Structure 1
C-alpha cells in the first residue's frame, strides 16, 4: 500500500519540508469523482475522503448511508475511474454524540460508541474524536475534563473494533473548533484564533486522561489537534487567514513535535492563505461546502445557458425546482438563515454556508439536474454564453457539449488550489 501521508506530517514540518493533505468532506458523487480524477492523474497521490457524524452513521445520517455503504459508494466511483482502493484514506469527522445531543448523555454516548465502532469496521482509519458538545440537561460547551474522558471512551471503542477487524490501528484527531462545523450562520467581523494555552490544555488533558484509561499506545497515534486558526465563513462573508494571528499556535508545535493541527472551515480561502496554513503547522485542510458551492454555481450557470438556448427548457428550471424543494422541506436551512423574505431567498441559493447541498440527493433535485444535463448534452455552448454565465471556466469547455465535464472542471478548480498549497516540500 502507498505510504500513509498523515503519518509523516509532523516529521516533515520538523525537518523544514512541510506538505499538506486535502481532506475532502462531501458525499456528493460529482465532488468525489472530481477528487478521484485528480488523484488518478498523480500516480503518487493518496486521497483523503471524510464523512461527518451527521452525514453518515449507523442509522444512515442525512445521506441515508451507513459507514460501510459510504465506503462502498466511494470505492465504486474509484473503481470506475481507475483509482486503487489502497490509495484512499477514509476519515470520520466529529465522531461523537453530536447527532443525538438532544438525548441524555448516557444514551447519546452509547450511540456514539456504536457509530465509532461502525466507522472502524467499515475501514475508516482516521478518527476525529469529538465529544465537546453537551447533551440533554448539560451546558452547550463542556469542560475539558469531561470532553477528554468521553473522547477516551470513544477511543476505547475504536481500538476494540480495530483489533477485532485486523489491519492498521486508527490514527486519531482530538479537539474541536468554534463555531460549529459547516460555518457560522451570521456575518463574522472578528474571529480570534484558539489561544496557545487552550490548545496546550487540550493536549495535556487528553494525554493524561488517555494514560489513566490505559490508552497510552492509542494516544501515540494522535496525529493532530483541531483548533481555530482564524479562518471561517459565515452565510455572506469569509474571514481570511492572517498568519501573524495564529503565530502562538504555530510556536506550540515546536514543543509538541509529534503533532500538527487540522484546519476546519478552510473553504473559500485563497491559494496563498491555504499555502500559509500548511507552512504554519495546519497541513490537514478540510473542505466541503466550498466544493459544493462551486458545483451549485456551475449548475445555476448551466441552468441559465439552457434557458437561453434550449427550446422548451423553461426559464431557470433548475433554480425554480430547488426553491420549491427547499420551501417544502425547510429543515436544513430554516434555523440557520435569517432576515426578510428577500434575504432568505438569497441565502437559500447563494449562501457560503451552502445549505442547499443537503438537497441535491433529494429525488426532486436529482430529476431537475438530470433534466438540465440532458437538455445540454451534445449541445455546444457558444463562447459568448460561457463568458456570460460561467466566466471563471475556460470558454472552450462549452464546445464539447458535455455538461458533466463542465461541472467536474468547476469542482477541480477549487481542488487545484488545495493541491498547490499542499505541495510545499
Structure 2
C-alpha cells in the first residue's frame, strides 16, 4: 500500500498527476463516510491520526494507536471494506504533546509514541520535531529539528524491523502552522521561500546520512511546506498557483519528492486539483469534515425542533454551548472578540474547535436523542429545503438522519476524490 504513495512524484513528472485524500479525523461518522466511499469506488483510503489525538498514553481521544486501528478496522468490517485498502498515517509525530517538558524527556515520550504507531500498523509517518521544548530557544534551527527527526526515524526503523513489519515511508519538514488552523485573523499567507525549503531538504538528507538512515531518507516521499493555503476562524485563504510557482518548481531538483501542505480544508474543488497538479498529492483534511458533520447535525436539530412536539428548542446546540462554556480549554486562546463573537465561533468557526467536545458523554447523549427522535420519521421535503438545501434532493427518498450525516461528510470527500483522481 505504501508503494502507492511512492508513485505520486513519478506520476506528476510524467504529466499524469494523481493523489489521495488524507482523512485526519478520529470521529466515527467521518471514518465511516471515508471507508464507505473507499468500498464504493474500490480505491485505497488514507486515514491519519495526530500525536495529540492518539498516542501511546491515550491522547485526547483516549485511544492508543492500536485502539485507533481497531476502531477503523471495525467500521471497515461493518461497511464491507477490504482492510487491505486502508493505509494508516501518523501526523505531527514528535514531542508536541510534551513540549512543556525538557527536550530529552519529551523526545523519550515521542520515541515511545512512534514505536507504538509503527507496531500498530501505521506506515506513513510525518516526523515533526519542529517545536521548542522547555529549555529550548523559541525557534529551533534546521539542524536541531533534523537531528531530532532522525532520532524518531531510527526508532521507527528499529520497531518495524524488530516486528517484521513493512518499513514506513516518511514525511519530513518543519513549516507546520498550528494544527487545526490559524488562531488569528488572516488576509493572506506567504508560501514557503524556495531557498528555505531547499535548505531544509538538504540538511535532513545530510543528518539522516550521518545517522546511518540513508535507506529511510530514500523512503521519504514529501516535505511539509506552506503553499499559501490556510484557514482561520471565519476566513479561508485559497490556493493561488501563481504565488506558489517558484516553490513548486523546486521539485524539479528533487525528482523523488513531493510537497505536503499541513491542511487543505475548505479549498475549492478547482484549488484541490491544482494542488495535486503542482506537487501536493496528499490532500490533508480534518476540520473541514467535522465542520460538515456539525453543520448537518445542527440542521437536523432545527428540523426536529420544528417537526416534533416535545423535542425542545435546539437541545443539541444548547448542550454543546453548555459543555463548551463549562470547559473552555479546547477553544480559549483560539477564538477572539466579545461574548457575541465568541458564541458564534464556538459553534460555527471554520477552526471547528467544537470537534473536541463530540466525545463527551453529554454530547453523545444529545446526538443519540436527536437521532432517536427522528428515527423512522420521514422528514418533509420543505424542511429539508429550509435546513439542508444542498441535500434536499438526495434525501427525498426518506433517508434516515444518520445517513444524512454521512452524506454531508461524503459531499466534502467527493471533491477530494475528484481532485486526486482526475
Q: For the superposition of Structure 1 and Structure 2, which TM-score range results when normalised by the shorter chain?
A: over 0.9
Shift of 1:177: 3.0
Report if aligned partners of 2:2, 2:168 keep a CA contact under 8 Å in 1. no
Write the distance in 2 (CA, Å) between the matches of 1:51 and 1:157. 19
Whether 1:41 and 2:32 are equivalent positions in the alignment is no
SS in 2 for 1:245: coil
Deviates more, 1:322-331 or 1:289-298: 322-331
Whether 1:334 and 2:319 are equivalent positions in the alignment is no
Structure 2 counterpart of 1:381, from 371, 379, 382 = 379
Shift of 1:3: 7.1
Shift of 1:338: 1.1
Name the counterpart of 1:250: 248
Alignment of 1:281-300 (within 5 A): 281-300=279-298
SS in 2 for 1:94: strand
Name the counterpart of 2:134: 136
Shift of 1:189: 1.1
Shift of 1:264: 1.9
Shift of 1:161: 0.3
Report if aligned partners of 1:21, 1:48 keep a CA contact under 8 Å in 2. yes
Write the distance in 2 (CA, Å) between the matches of 1:401 and 1:192. 44
Residues 261-287 of structure 1: per-residue CA shift (max 9 Å, x gap): 112220000000000000000111100
Shift of 1:139: 2.7
SS in 1 for 2:175: coil
SS in 2 for 1:254: helix
Write the distance in 2 (CA, Å) between the matches of 1:221 and 1:184. 30
Write the distance in 1 (CA, Å) between the matches of 2:144 and 2:239. 31
Write the distance in 2 (CA, Å) between the matches of 1:158 and 1:3. 15
Report if aligned partners of 1:271, 1:418 keep a CA contact under 8 Å in 2. yes
Q: Aligned residue pairs: how many?
A: 422
Q: CA RMSD in A?
A: 1.0
Name the counterpart of 2:22: 23
Shift of 1:141: 2.4
TM-score normalised by the chain length of structure 1 = 0.98
Name the counterpart of 1:310: 308
Report if aligned partners of 1:263, 1:283 keep a CA contact under 8 Å in 2. no
Write the distance in 2 (CA, Å) between the matches of 1:167 and 1:59. 22
Shift of 1:394: 3.2
Q: For structure 1, which runs of at least 5 residues remain unmatched after alignment?
A: none
TM-score normalised by the chain length of structure 2 = 0.98
Write the distance in 1 (CA, Å) between the matches of 2:84 and 2:296. 32
Shift of 1:209: 0.2
Residues 282-323 of structure 1: per-residue CA shift (max 9 Å, x gap): 111100000000000000000000000011100011000000
Structure 2 counterpart of 1:171, from 154, 169, 172 = 169
Write the distance in 2 (CA, Å) between the matches of 1:387 and 1:360. 26
Report if aligned partners of 1:378, 1:400 keep a CA contact under 8 Å in 2. no
Name the counterpart of 2:144: 146
Structure 2 counterpart of 1:365, from 363, 375, 384 = 363
Structure 2 counterpart of 1:411, from 394, 402, 409 = 409
Write the distance in 1 (CA, Å) between the matches of 2:137 and 2:264. 28
Alignment of 1:3-18 (within 5 A): 4-18=3-17
Shift of 1:64: 0.3
Write the distance in 2 (CA, Å) between the matches of 1:39 and 1:334. 36
Write the distance in 1 (CA, Å) between the matches of 2:350 and 2:94. 26
Write the distance in 1 (CA, Å) between the matches of 2:330 and 2:273. 33
Name the counterpart of 2:320: 322
Name the counterpart of 1:107: 105
Name the counterpart of 1:59: 57
Shift of 1:178: 4.2
For the structure 1 residues 247 and 401, does the alpha-carbon distance in structure 2 shift closer, same or farther, using more than 3 Å as the test?
A: closer
Name the counterpart of 1:273: 271
Report if aligned partners of 1:265, 1:287 keep a CA contact under 8 Å in 2. yes
Shift of 1:400: 1.7
Shift of 1:401: 5.0
SS in 2 for 1:243: coil
Shift of 1:162: 0.4
Write the distance in 1 (CA, Å) between the matches of 2:3 and 2:378. 43
Shift of 1:224: 0.5
Write the distance in 2 (CA, Å) between the matches of 1:57 and 1:178. 19
For the structure 1 residues 362 and 111, does the alpha-carbon distance in structure 2 shift closer, same or farther, using more than 3 Å as the test?
A: same
Report if aligned partners of 2:184, 2:232 keep a CA contact under 8 Å in 1. yes
Report if aligned partners of 1:381, 1:399 keep a CA contact under 8 Å in 2. no
Q: For structure 2, which runs of at least 5 residues remain unmatched after alignment?
A: none
Residues 231-273 of structure 1: per-residue CA shift (max 9 Å, x gap): 0000110000000011111111111000001122200000000
Shift of 1:398: 5.0
Report if aligned partners of 1:101, 1:108 keep a CA contact under 8 Å in 2. yes
Structure 2 counterpart of 1:222, from 213, 220, 223 = 220
